[in-house]
């Protein structure tokens, strides 16, 4: 059997297993975020599924799109370089689906939505979205006058952006796509459609569906669209004055109407969330759509342009996953309580930063999440808890298993609430 045939058969098997009955939808979600580096070989996936099942985990968020590349059979994006030592027919997503189904574990396809690469053009793979469309990259404000006046080129414009990213590495992880560019939104719809049409995943998990910080998002498409929006609201004299200012400075509108500019960028993210959610439900009506969001609602709104309260109110998401990675239990509890208060009948799965704290702290946060009636928890991440790591982490999954076994009988998940 040739590699292509084997790969196709594996994908078909995923669909045949789609009707396998999993735990009831109201069960507590006990999940792991699984970074793509834990999916590089069949043996690694075998270990992942076995350890998850043994530990009482029922949901895996598997990262299949990390940096604009694919850990699945993609017609749109290059195969991840992390799989270069594997045969071409090895499909990590298809493989994990088959293995997880056999252990009654749900699988959600986790994609880094707008973050697409580290700040370097040297490592961009052939066929990467930014090699084809450098003009889709999110532009920092300090480069806007230069790049607005000159057509974006590869790699020159990206190298300039990379310099700024490295200067803001505390808040900017790499190149982002700009959601204000209509072609970006359409491309991401196609990426998600490609996954959902081929694989019987239980959910679509949206990560990095945000801006890195307020200093980004000043590309030509965004500036022009915002200018059009504002011009429609201005009197003729003011519009003429602003037009003259804009001819000298492409940031004239964003500087003059800064609050409206922030709201504009917030709408771009919301529009993308809505579009991807609609697409997912159309292709797979039973799929669960979730997003990882900044847990501090004010920071999410003002600095990341994530209006996740609105997303939940409008029903764009089935579950919200606040990344409550604080080490302070009181802050953790407060952040989740706010998320719960604005869930509008949707679910809240507590995101817990297990990689940065002892297992006792992780178990304490699971208990706190249950006290405020969260619908489940997600631990970041499997690699930090797995037996692949020496030292204290070796016993982490065993401790988790014992904790979940002891508390399972006593825990009752919150009932779904009526939206209002």
Residue 171 in tokens: 């808040």
CA distance 10 to 413: 35
264-297 residue pLDDT tens: 999 999 999 999 999 999 999 999 999 999 999 9
Residue 26 in tokens: 């109201």
Domain ranges in the chain are: 3-407
Residue 177 confidence class, pLDDT cut points 50, 70, 90: very high
314-364 residue pLDDT tens: 999 999 999 999 999 999 999 999 999 999 999 999 999 999 988 999 999
pLDDT of 121 reads: 87
To the question of domain 3-407 being in CATH 3.30.420.130, the answer is no
Question: Among 348, 330, 351, which residue's Cα sits nearest to residue 340?
Answer: 348
Q: Is the pLDDT of residue 18 over 80?
A: no
Q: Is the pLDDT of residue 392 over 70?
A: no
254-267 residue pLDDT tens: 999 999 999 999 99
Tokens 């030292």 locate to: 391
Residues 6+ apart with CB under 8 A from 3: 87, 88, 89
Question: Among 265, 170, 257, which residue's Cα sits nearest to residue 210?
Answer: 265
Neighbours of 122 (CB within 10 A): 8
Residue 20 confidence class, pLDDT cut points 50, 70, 90: very low
Q: Is the pLDDT of residue 394 over 60?
A: no
Neighbours of 112 (CB within 10 A): 23
> Which of 146-155, 162-171, 204-213, 238-247 is the least confident region?
146-155
């Amino acid at each position: 059997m040739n590699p292509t045939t084997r790969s196709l058969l594996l994908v078909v098997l995923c669909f045949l297993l789609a009707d396998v009955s999993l735990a009831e939808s109201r069960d507590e979600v006990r999940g792991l975020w699984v970074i793509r580096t834990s999916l590089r070989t069949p043996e690694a996936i075998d270990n992942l599924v076995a350890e998850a099942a043994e530990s009482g985990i029922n949901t895996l968020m598997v990262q299949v799109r990390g940096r604009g590349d694919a850990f699945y059979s993609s017609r749109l994006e290059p195969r991840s370089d992390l799989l270069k030592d594997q045969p071409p027919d090895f499909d990590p997503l298809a493989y994990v689906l088959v293995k997880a189904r056999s252990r009654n574990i749900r699988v959600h396809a986790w994609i880094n939505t707008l973050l697409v690469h580290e700040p370097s053009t040297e490592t961009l793979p052939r066929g990467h979205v930014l090699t084809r469309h450098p003009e889709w990259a999110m532009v920092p404000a300090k480069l806007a006058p230069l790049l607005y006046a000159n057509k974006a080129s590869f790699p020159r414009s990206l190298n300039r952006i990379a310099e700024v990213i490295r200067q803001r590495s505390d808040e900017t992880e790499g190149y982002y796509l700009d959601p204000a560019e209509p072609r970006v939104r359409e491309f991401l719809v196609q990426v998600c459609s490609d996954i959902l049409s081929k694989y019987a995943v239980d959910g679509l998990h949206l990560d990095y569906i945000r801006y890195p910080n307020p200093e980004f998002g000043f590309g030509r498409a965004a500036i022009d669209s915002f200018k059009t929006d504002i011009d429609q609201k201005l009197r003729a004299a003011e519009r003429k004055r602003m037009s003259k200012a804009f001819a000298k400075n492409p940031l004239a509108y964003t500087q003059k109407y800064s609050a409206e500019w922030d709201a504009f960028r917030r709408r771009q993210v919301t529009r993308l969330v809505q579009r991807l959610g609609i697409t997912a439900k159309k292709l797979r009506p039973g799929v669960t759509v979730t997003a990882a969001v900044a847990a501090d609602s004010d920071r999410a709104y003002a600095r990341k342009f994530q209006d996740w309260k609105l997303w939940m109110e409008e029903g764009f998401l089935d579950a919200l996953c606040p990344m409550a990675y604080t080490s302070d239990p009181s802050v953790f509890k407060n952040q989740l309580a706010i998320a719960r208060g604005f869930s509008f009948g949707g679910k809240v799965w507590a995101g817990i930063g297990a990689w940065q704290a002892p297992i006792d702290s992780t178990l304490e946060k699971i208990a706190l999440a249950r006290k405020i009636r969260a619908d489940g928890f997600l631990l970041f991440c499997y690699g930090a808890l797995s037996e692949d790591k020496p030292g204290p982490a070796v016993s982490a999954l065993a401790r988790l298993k014992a904790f979940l076994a002891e508390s399972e009988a006593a825990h009752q998940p919150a009932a779904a609430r009526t939206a209002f």
